[in-house]
Amino acid sequence: MQNPKLTHISFISRLSLGFLFIYHGLVPKILWLSPVETHLVSLSGLDVPANIISLLAGIGEVLLGGSILFFRKSIIPIYMAVVVLLLLLLFVGFVSPEYLVEAFNPVTTNMLGLGFCYLVWFTHEGEKV
């Protein structure tokens, strides 16, 4: 049986991480397409309209956030979140580094997300799905 404090830390970390992905998938990508999202898609080199790419990315982020929240016995969504957070941070750093120094930038968001991933991993009981 796990320590109740560690269980609480894991729960709050999953809640925060799930919220991060659901919010960033839903608000600037699906509900209100952000000009920053449009700009980053244009820099990706993909020959698909930004509204399509952003919609698909937003759906993926919402699904990942939901899996972090609802599959609490699995660590796999956490590993997926680590990969996504690192890849997105590297992508922005390479294609548009000016965003890394703006207010509410990907460095702070992604590093906090990675911190929540670590806390979930650290407190995980090792149970399988």
Top-confidence residue, 62 or 2: 62
CA–CA distance, 64 with 2 (Å, rounded to integer): 25
Q: What is the pLDDT of residues 15-50, one digit of tens each?
A: 999 999 999 999 999 999 999 999 999 999 889 999
Q: pTM for the complete prediction?
A: 0.92
Nearest CA-CA partner of 23 in 69, 67, 58: 58
CA–CA distance, 98 with 93 (Å, rounded to integer): 8
pLDDT confidence of residue 1: 47
Residues 14 and 120 sit within 8 Å (Cβ to Cβ): yes
Task: Give SS3 for 58.
Answer: helix
Position 8 confidence tier, pLDDT thresholds 50, 70, 90: very high
The alpha carbon of 83 is separated from its chain's Cα centroid by a whole number of angstroms, namely: 9
Nearest-5° Cα angle at 30, 14 to 77: 25
Mean pLDDT in residue range 58-74:
97
